[in-house]
Structure 1
Amino acid sequence: MLWVDKYRPKTLDQVMVHQEIAQNLKKLVTEQDCPHLLFYGPSGAGKKTLIMALLRQIFGTSAEKVKVENRNWKVDAGSRTIDLELTTLSSNNHVELTPSDAGFQDRYVVQEIIKEMAKNRPIDTKGKKGYKVLVLNEVDKLSREAQHSLRRTMEKYSASCRLILCCNSSSKVTEAIRSRCLNIRINAPSEEETVKVLEFIGKKENLQLPPGFAARIAEKSNRNLRRAILSFETCRVQQYPFENNQAIPPMDWEEYISEIATDIMKEQSPKRLFQVRGKVYELLINCIPPEIVLKRLLHELLKKLDAELKHEVCHWAAYYEHRMHLGQKAIFHIEAFVAKFMSIYKGFLIATFG
C-alpha cells in the first residue's frame, strides 16, 4: 500500500493538518444535524481525507466498507434514451461519484441518477443517522444546467439525503448552490505542516532523515501534501539510507512536459506541432488534468523565454485555458496554444536574427 493511503487519517481526531477544521466538523455533527457541505481548496490540500474522516464520524466503521461499481443507466432525454456509464464508490450509507465524468451529459446525471439516489434512505441505519450522504467530486466542472438541477435536488430531498460537494474552486460553483451549503475552505498546508507529516511517516517507517531533507521535499512539492508523500516514498525506493544532497526526483509527467517544452523551443513547424500533439494526448489519456498540462507547459516555456515575450504568451495561455473550459475537447485548445506560441516565437526569432 502506498504511504499516501497507508497513513491517511481515518478519523477527525487523527487529522494532523487542518486540526481546527476537523474539530469544528466533529462538533458540528455531534451537536446538530449535518447540513449540506461544500469543501473547496487546491489539489492535495486534504479535502477528500477530511470528507472520509467526517463520514466515519457520522456512520462509524461501515463508511469504510466501500465497493466500486461501474454502473450503466438508461436516461430519458426527451425523444431519445441516453446510455450513461459512471463509476461509483458506495457503502450502506453513502455514495461517491464524479458527475462531470459524463461531460456535456452531466445534467442528465444530476436530473435522473442523483435524484434517484437521493430519494432512497439507507436500508439499515442501526440507530445511526437516518439519511444518506452523496459525495460529489469536481462540482466546479459541472455545466450551469447541471448545477441548477443540483440545486433543486438539494432542496427537494434534504430530509433523506445530504450532499457533500468537493471542488478546487468555489468561484465556478453557482451562488444558488453555495448559499445552500456550509462552505469550508481547505487551504494548502504550509511547508512546516508538510514537514511535520513527513517526519511522522519517517518515524513510523523507522527511517533516519538527514537534517533538512523533509524540508527540501516540502519545498519541492509546492504545498501539495499528497505529492510530498509520494515524492518521499519515491526517494525511499530509489535510495536508502538517505544522503544530505540526495536529489528529489520530479514527477514523471513533469519531466515529460519539460521535454515537450524543449521540443517546441527547438523547432516551430507543422511537423513538430503534430509530434507535440501526440505527446500531449499521451498525458491526457494517463489522466493528467488538461488545466495542469497547460499550466505546467506555460511554466516550462516561460523559463526558456525572453522577458519581452512573456506577457503576450501568458495572455494567450489564459485565453486558451478559458476556451478549454467552454469547450469539450481539451486537446484542441492545448494544441491551439502550442501553435500560437510557435507563431509568436518564430516571428520573434525572424525579427531578431533575420
Structure 2
Amino acid sequence: MLWVDKHRPRALDKVIVHEEIAQNLKMLVSEQDCPHLLFYGPTGSGRKTLVMALLKQMFGTSAEKVKLENKNWKIDTGTRTIEVELTTLSSTNHVELNPSDAGFQDRYVVQEIIKEMAKSRPIDAKGKKGFKVLVLNEVDKLSREAQHSLRRTMEKYSSSCRLILCCSSSSKVTEAVRSRCLNIRVNAPTNDQIIRVLEFIAKKEKLQLPSTLAARIAVQSNRSLRKAILSFETCKVQNYPFTDDQVVPPMDWEQYVCEIVSDIMKEQSPKRLFLVRGKLYELLINCIPPGFILKNLLSELLKKLDDELKHEVCHWAAHYEHRMQLGQKAIFHLEAFVAKFMSIYKEFLIATFG
C-alpha cells in the first residue's frame, strides 16, 4: 500500500494539517445531523482525508467498509433512452461518485441517478442518523444544467439525503448550490506543515529523515501534500539511508512534460506538432488531468523564454485553459496551445536571427 493511503488519518482527532477544521467538523456532527457541505481547495490539500474522517465520525467503522462498482444506468429522457456507466464507491451509509465523468450527460446523472440514490434511506434508518450521504467529486466541472438539477435535488430530498460536495474552485459552482451548503475552505498546507507530516511518516516507518531533505521535498511539492508523500516514498525506494544532498526526483509525468517541452523548443513544424500531440494523448490516457498538463507545460516553457515573450505566452495559456473548461475534448485545446506557441516562437526566432 502506498504511504499516502497507509498513513492517511482515519479519524478527525488524528488529522495533522487541518486540525481546526477537523475539530469544527467534529462539533458539527455531534448534534447527530449536519447540513450539506461544500469542501473546496487545491488538489493535494487534504479534502478527501477530511471527508473520509468525517464519514467515520458520523457512521463509525461501517463507513470504511466500501465496495467499488461499475454500474450501467439506463435513463429515460422522454425522447430516447441513454446508457451511462459510472464508477461508484459505496458503503451502507454513503455513496461516492464523480458525475462529471459522464461528460455532456452529467445533467441526466444528477437528475436521475442521484435522485434515485437520494430517495432511499439507509438500512439502519431507525437509528439517530436516518439519512444517506452522497459524496460528489469535481462538482466545479459540472455543466450549469447539471448544477441547477443538483440544487433541486438538494431541496427535495433533504430529509433523507445529505450532500458532501468537493471541488477545486468554488467560483465555478453556482451561487444557488453554494448558498445551500456550509462552505469549507481547505487551504494548501504550508511547507512547515508538510515537513511535520513527512516526519510523522518517517517515525512510523522507522526511518531517519534529514531535515534538509524534508525541506526540499516540501518545496518541490508546490504545497501538495499528496505529491510530497509520493516523492518521499520514491526517495526511499531509490536510496536509503537518506543523504542530505539526495536528489528529489520529479514525478514520471512531470519528466514526460519536460521531454515534450524539449521537443517543442527544438523544432516548430506540423510534423513536430503531430509528434507532440501523440505524447499529450499518452498523458491524458494515463489519467493526468489536462489542467495539470497545461500548467506544467507553461511553467517549463517560461523557463526557456525571453521576458518579452512571457506575457504573450501566458495570455494564450489562459485563453486555452478557459476554452478547455468550456469544451469536452481537452486534447484539442492542449494541441491548439502548443500550435500557437510554436507560431509565436518561430516568428520571434525569424525576427531575431533572420
Match of 1:47 in 2: 47
Alignment map for 1:167-316 (pairs within 5 Å): 167-316=167-316
Tell whether the 8 Å contact from 1:59 to 1:128 is kept in structure 2 after alignment.
no
Structure-2 separation of matches of 1:211 and 1:37:
37
Q: What is the Cα deviation at residue 86 of structure 1?
A: 0.2
In the alignment, residue 18 of structure 2 is paired with which amino acid? Answer: H
Match of 2:97 in 1: 97
Structure-1 separation of matches of 2:128 and 2:147:
30
Q: Give 5+ residue unaligned stretches, structure 2.
A: none
Question: After TM superposition, where is structure 1 displaced by more than 2 Å over at least 4 residues in a row?
Answer: 124-128
The one-character-per-residue Cα deviations of 1:232-270 (angstroms, maximum 9, x if unpaired) are 000001100001100000000001001101110100000
Match of 1:25 in 2: 25
Structure-1 separation of matches of 2:291 and 2:194:
25
Match of 2:335 in 1: 335
Structure-2 separation of matches of 1:18 and 1:180:
24
RMSD: 0.8
Structure-2 separation of matches of 1:125 and 1:92:
11
Tell whether the 8 Å contact from 1:119 to 1:157 is kept in structure 2 after alignment.
yes
Aligned residue for 2:211, secondary structure, equals: coil
In the alignment, residue 326 of structure 1 is paired with which amino acid? Answer: L
Tell whether the 8 Å contact from 1:139 to 1:166 is kept in structure 2 after alignment.
yes
TM-score for both structures, normalised by structure 2 = 0.99
Match of 1:123 in 2: 123
The one-character-per-residue Cα deviations of 1:38-91 (angstroms, maximum 9, x if unpaired) are 000000000000000000000000000000000000001221100000000000
Aligned residue for 1:127, secondary structure, equals: coil
Structure-2 separation of matches of 1:118 and 1:28:
22
Structure-1 separation of matches of 2:279 and 2:126:
52
Match of 1:70 in 2: 70
In the alignment, residue 11 of structure 1 is paired with which amino acid? Answer: A
TM-score for both structures, normalised by structure 1 = 0.99
Tell whether the 8 Å contact from 1:131 to 1:160 is kept in structure 2 after alignment.
yes
Structure-1 separation of matches of 2:210 and 2:302:
34
Match of 2:154 in 1: 154
87-96 vs 74-83, which deviates more? Answer: 74-83
Q: Give 5+ residue unaligned stretches, structure 1.
A: none
Percent identity over the alignment is 80
Tell whether the 8 Å contact from 1:16 to 1:197 is kept in structure 2 after alignment.
yes
Q: What is the Cα deviation at residue 182 of structure 1?
A: 0.1
Q: What is the Cα deviation at residue 124 of structure 1?
A: 2.5
Structure-2 separation of matches of 1:163 and 1:142:
15
Q: What is the Cα deviation at residue 166 of structure 1?
A: 0.2
In the alignment, residue 248 of structure 1 is paired with which amino acid? Answer: V
Match of 1:9 in 2: 9
The size of the alignment, in residue pairs, is 354
Q: What is the Cα deviation at residue 32 of structure 1?
A: 5.3
Q: What is the Cα deviation at residue 210 of structure 1?
A: 1.9
Tell whether the 8 Å contact from 2:32 to 2:128 is kept in structure 1 after alignment.
no
Structure-2 separation of matches of 1:150 and 1:322:
23
Alignment map for 1:317-328 (pairs within 5 Å): 317-328=317-328
Aligned residue for 2:39, secondary structure, equals: strand
Aligned residue for 2:164, secondary structure, equals: strand
In the alignment, residue 141 of structure 2 is paired with which amino acid? Answer: K
Structure-2 separation of matches of 1:106 and 1:280:
25
Aligned residue for 1:31, secondary structure, equals: coil
Aligned residue for 1:130, secondary structure, equals: coil
In the alignment, residue 173 of structure 2 is paired with which amino acid? Answer: V
